[in-house]
């Protein structure tokens, strides 16, 4: 392969030309006879195909370009130690030197046979497109950069990104433990879950008095939407888009993926009496097909969401490859959505933290204003696959324990190498042809998207920044309380596991609206502090101690909800000690130890008379 080094907004990138793969645009139903395998249907708007190995790729591509069914042909490249094809889209972002005028620059672009798509005077950037008379856009970009009137010329590239779901390890509403976890999954013997290890979505519906608002639109950006699925066919569909072509029709079939269907169902599956229910069943769905690294297509996808009224944008994909981390133009596209969407209140943009088990997040989580979502399990633990690190906002229930249940596309072949019973369900028990087990941060992300739709149902005036703040402030601290810092932040769990009920309660409070009447068990506020003095005698279980009162109060609230017992927060020596229960004698307190340990706590019996 011949090597070429190009500029990106993140620095230089070395690419080597493939000897066999090329990208073609044309009529998808036909294929030139020279084409071997059709590998990827859409990378930067090109279908990636193979040409005969024995032929010189330059000659073979020139020959294929002459075919009437081929509109455009391009070379395909690879970065070192990476088997993902890199495709130039034909777009070049050219930033002019200060003082260079339109007429002067146009003469240069004409010389290279480039079409001007857009001029952005504030950034001194011109968006250019290669034409049939242009040379290879990578070569053209390098030539432009040699000119004194050009500050930079960045060729737009696309590369397949990672979809963040986890493969299964080898009337369904009751099995959706992520919405309300009773401590077991009906019909799944011998696999206990932790009671309360859920996103509190069912409780949020009760507090809200509805399943959310039909005026809220959730955009899912992904590959493979089956909009005829029983859980999605009754949805109100808003402004569907195939990103690479700009078409309003979405492709179907296994070549175009299966991932979007389960993601959409976790967020917004309809409550229609069958199948499963999404976190925001009444919300509208805006499906955008096509995962893309291309900066130009990234701008198209987010601008489409802004123009067509997306409130929440869910992205269960990304990369941890630093060579393809999003650059300046990706960042501007997301910033526009977060600041200009929803009439200036900002779209809520959510990205999956990633499934690589890294100590850093999917690079798209670094973009301004993004809510970064990791995963938690059915036992409120951290799954090893979920990336961790600074920037993580919250976690949400997914697999690693018992997986989520989600819709599956009609063309989804499942895991064909597994026995028939386990192609879709980890326990081999058939739950019908329309669903499958699902997980990863791909499952956690649309769950949080649905929760955000419930917040906007409670308070449509919330800004994107306020929604992010509410999610973080109302999350449940799971795992070892000691791993949270003075801010209440953990690198594994962010600010905690999302709590839809508390988040909706806070949104209603900010809106100045009382919540509908609910049972007393659901009417607790986010932080309830007992006014009475701590008892001076008796025994309890000391669960933890914190220097920060807020951390102690968060744990106290959670313990009250889990055990329905009084919780004492006593301050002594600068520490706030959290004590569960008040019992007449130590043996009575000790009887509570097994249940507390089952829920992940490590308490000890405390004599309350020693607190003063």
Q: The tokens of 282 are what?
A: 């009444």
Question: Residue 71 falls within a domain, yes or no?
Answer: yes
- Residue 152's nearest CA partner among 94, 91, 89 is 94
Alpha-carbon span 77 to 85, nearest angstrom: 6
How high is the pLDDT of residue 549? 67
Which of these is catalytic: 265, 316, 442, 544? 442
Region of poorest pLDDT, from 51-55, 186-190, 282-286, 605-609: 51-55
The values of phi and psi at residue 351, to 5°, are -125, 145
- Asked whether the beta carbons of 92 and 156 are under 8 A apart, the reply is yes
Which pLDDT belongs to residue 165? 65
Cβ atoms 102, 307 nearer than 8 A: no
* Domain shared by 206 and 247, yes or no: yes
Q: If DSSP codes are grouped into helix, strand and coil, which group holds residue 223?
A: coil
Number of domains observed in the structure of the chain: 3
Taking residues 167-188, what's their average pLDDT? 79
For position 402, what pLDDT does the model report?
93
Average pLDDT, the chain: 89
- State residue 30's pLDDT score: 67
pTM over 0.85: no
Q: How far is CA 571 from CA 482, 584, 611, in A?
A: 17, 22, 8
Domain boundary among 507, 542, 570: 507
Mean pLDDT along residues 180-209: 90
**Residue 529 banded pLDDT, cuts 50, 70, 90:** very low
Task: Give the pLDDT mean for 473-498.
Answer: 94
CB-based contact 393:496 (threshold 8 Å): no
For residues 477-482, give the mean pLDDT.
93
Helix (H/G/I), strand (E/B), else coil: 268: helix
pLDDT band with cut points at 50, 70 and 90 for residue 532: very low
What does the pLDDT read at residue 134? 93
Decide if 33 contacts 283 (C-beta within 8 A). no
> What pLDDT, in 10s, does the model give residues 296-323?
999 999 999 999 999 999 999 999 999 9
**Cα(449)–Cα(347) distance, integer angstroms:** 11
Q: Is 162 annotated in the active site?
A: no
Tell me, yes or no, whether 367 and 439 share the same domain: yes
pLDDT at residue 525 tops 80: no
Domain that holds residue 546: 527-610
Residues 339 and 410 in one domain: yes
Query: Which of 256, 330, 459, 576 is the catalytic position?
Result: 256
520 within a domain of the structure (yes/no): no
In this structure, is residue 533 part of a structural domain? yes
Q: Note whether 142 and 187 are same-domain residues.
A: no
Q: Is the pLDDT of residue 417 over 90?
A: no
Say how far apart CA 342 and CA 268 lie, in whole Å.
19
pLDDT at 518: 39
Residue 522 lies in a domain: no
Residue 75 DSSP label: E
Catalytic annotation, pick one of 42, 158, 198, 222: 222
Same domain membership, residue 457 and residue 542: no
Task: Give the Å distances, CA to CA, from 532 to 529, 542, 611.
Answer: 9, 18, 15
* Residue 486: inside a domain: yes
Rounded to 5°, angle at Cα 498 from 495 and 501: 130
Contact between 180 and 203 (Cβ < 8 Å): yes
Domain ends where: 158, 184, 213?
158
Across 405-411, average pLDDT: 96
Q: Convert the pLDDT of each residue in 239-251 to its tens digit.
A: 999 999 999 999 9
Q: Do 256 and 211 contact (CB within 8 A), yes or no? A: no
Task: Give the model confidence (pLDDT) of 561-574 as tens digits.
Answer: 677 788 888 877 66
Helical H runs in 436-585?
440-458, 464-473, 500-511, 549-563
Q: CA quadruple 412, 414, 415, 418: dihedral positive or negative?
A: negative
In this prediction, residues 357-382 reach a mean pLDDT of 96
To the query of whether residue 222 is one of the catalytic residues in this protein, the response is: yes
Same domain, 339 and 454: yes
Is 514 among the domain residues? no
Q: If you average pLDDT over residues 413-438, what whole number do you get? A: 89
Cα 130 to Cα 137: distance, rounded to the nearest angstrom: 6
Our answer to whether residue 18 is catalytic in this structure is no
Residue 206 lies in a domain: yes
Query: Could you write out the DSSP letters of every residue in 397-448?
Result: E-SSSSPEEEE--TT----TTS-GGGTT-TT-----TTEEEE-HHHHHHHHH
Same domain, 532 and 394: no
Spatial distance between the Cα atoms of 412 and 426, rounded to a whole number of angstroms: 16
Same domain, 249 and 153: no
């Amino acid at each position: 392969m011949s090597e070429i080094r190009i500029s990106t907004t993140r620095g230089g990138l070395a690419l080597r030309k493939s000897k066999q793969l090329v990208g073609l645009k044309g009529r998808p139903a036909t294929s030139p006879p020279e084409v071997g395998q059709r590998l990827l249907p859409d990378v930067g708007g090109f279908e990636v195909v193979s040409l005969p190995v024995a032929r010189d790729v330059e000659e073979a591509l020139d020959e294929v370009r002459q075919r009437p069914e081929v509109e455009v042909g391009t070379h395909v490249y690879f970065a070192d130690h990476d088997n993902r094809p890199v495709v130039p889209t034909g777009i070049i972002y050219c930033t002019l030197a200060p003082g260079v005028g339109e007429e002067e620059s146009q003469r240069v672009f004409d010389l290279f046979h480039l079409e001007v798509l857009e001029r952005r005077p504030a950034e001194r950037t011109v968006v250019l497109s290669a034409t049939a008379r242009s040379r290879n856009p990578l070569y053209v970009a390098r030539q432009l950069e040699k000119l004194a009137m050009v500050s930079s010329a960045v060729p737009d590239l696309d590369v397949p990104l990672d979809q963040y779901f986890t493969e299964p390890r080898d009337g369904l509403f009751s099995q959706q433990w992520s919405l309300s976890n009773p401590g077991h999954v009906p019909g799944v013997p011998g696999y206990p879950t932790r009671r309360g290890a859920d996103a509190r979505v069912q409780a949020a519906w009760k507090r809200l008095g509805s399943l959310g608002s039909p005026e809220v639109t959730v955009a899912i950006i992904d590959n493979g939407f089956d909009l005829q699925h029983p859980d999605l066919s009754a949805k109100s569909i808003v402004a569907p888009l195939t990103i690479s072509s700009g078409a309003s029709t979405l492709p179907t079939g296994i070549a175009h993926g299966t991932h979007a269907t389960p993601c959409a169902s976790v967020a917004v599956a309809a409550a229609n009496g069958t199948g499963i229910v999404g976190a925001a069943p009444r919300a509208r769905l805006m499906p955008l097909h096509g995962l893309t690294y291309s900066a130009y297509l990234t701008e198209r996808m987010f601008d489409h969401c802004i123009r067509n009224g997306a409130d929440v944008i869910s992205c269960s994909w990304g990369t941890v490859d630093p060579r393809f981390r999003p650059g300046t133009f990706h960042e501007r596209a997301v910033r526009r959505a977060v600041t200009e969407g929803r009439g200036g209140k900002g779209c809520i943009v959510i990205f999956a933290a990633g499934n690589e088990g890294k100590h850093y997040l999917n690079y798209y989580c670094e973009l301004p204003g993004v809510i970064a979502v990791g995963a938690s399990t059915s036992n409120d633990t951290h799954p090893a696959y979920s990336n961790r690190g600074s920037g993580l906002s919250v976690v949400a229930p997914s697999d690693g324990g018992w997986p989520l249940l989600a819709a599956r596309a009609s063309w989804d072949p499942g895991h064909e190498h597994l026995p028939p019973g386990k192609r879709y369900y980890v326990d081999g028990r058939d739950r019908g042809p329309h669903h499958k087990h699902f997980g990863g941060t791909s499952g956690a992300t649309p769950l949080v998207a649905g929760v955000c739709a419930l917040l906007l149902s409670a308070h449509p005036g919330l800004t994107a920044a306020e929604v992010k703040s509410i999610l973080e402030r109302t999350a449940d601290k799971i795992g070892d309380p000691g791993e949270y810092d003075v801010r209440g932040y953990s690198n594994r769990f962010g600010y905690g596991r999302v709590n839809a009920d508390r988040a909706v309660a806070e949104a209603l409070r900010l809106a100045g609206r009382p919540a509908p009447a609910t049972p007393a068990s659901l009417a607790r506020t986010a932080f309830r502090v007992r006014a009475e003095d701590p008892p001076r005698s008796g025994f309890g279980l000391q669960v933890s101690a914190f220097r920060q009162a807020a951390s102690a109060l968060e744990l106290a609230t959670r313990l009250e909800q889990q055990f329905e017992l009084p919780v004492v927060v006593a301050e002594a020596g600068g520490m706030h000690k959290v004590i569960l229960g008040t019992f007449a004698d130590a043996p009575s307190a000790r009887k509570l130890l097994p249940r507390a340990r089952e829920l992940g706590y490590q308490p000890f019996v405390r004599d309350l008379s020693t607190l003063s």
